């Protein structure tokens, strides 16, 4: 399999995952579907499980954006405003921007 074929397959897989598992968010005034995953921050010894502080890893399809998400931009999800605190475009995920969303509001 050539590198171009692998990239094309990865882009198709990302688009399919976004259609199936994506949730609607409002970003830059438009509604988009993104894949969200909660970030587990630590072990809660009282309950024996992981605790979560409200942060999410968010995967945007690059094809749905005019330019890459920037740090500090707001994302509205489930009635709450989150801020992008980190953004990357991993080499193993071509065509996707991976961001960390933290609860907050743009001042």
For 6-16, the pLDDT digits (tens) are 777 676 776 77
For 23-40, the pLDDT digits (tens) are 999 999 999 989 888 886
Among candidates 47, 43, 60, 44, which has minimal Cα distance to 100? Answer: 60
What separation in angstroms does the CA of 78 have from each of 11, 29, 103?
Answer: 27, 15, 12
Structural domain tally of the chain? Answer: 1
- Note whether 50 and 38 are within 8 A (CB): no
DSSP-H helix ranges across the chain: 3-21
Partners of 51 in beta bridges: 42
Residue 28 confidence (pLDDT): 94
pLDDT, mean of residues 68-81 = 93
pLDDT, mean of residues 64-77 = 92
3-state secondary structure of 64: helix
CATH number of domain containing 54:
2.40.10
Residue 70 confidence (pLDDT): 94
Domain carrying residue 24: 3-103
Q: What's the predicted TM-score (pTM) here? A: 0.74
Residue 49 confidence (pLDDT): 67
Q: Cα(1)–Cα(18) distance, rounded to whole angstroms?
A: 24
């Amino acid at each position: 399999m050539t590198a171009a074929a692998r990239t094309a397959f990865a882009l198709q897989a990302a688009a399919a995952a976004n259609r199936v598992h994506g949730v609607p968010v409002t970003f830059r005034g438009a509604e988009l579907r993104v894949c969200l995953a909660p970030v587990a921050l630590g072990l809660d010894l009282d309950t024996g499980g992981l605790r979560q502080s409200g942060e999410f890893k968010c995967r945007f399809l690059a094809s749905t954006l005019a330019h890459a998400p920037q740090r500090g931009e707001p994302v509205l999800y489930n009635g709450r405003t989150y801020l992008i605190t980190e953004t990357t475009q991993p080499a193993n995920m071509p065509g996707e921007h991976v961001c960390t969303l933290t609860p907050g509001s743009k001042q």
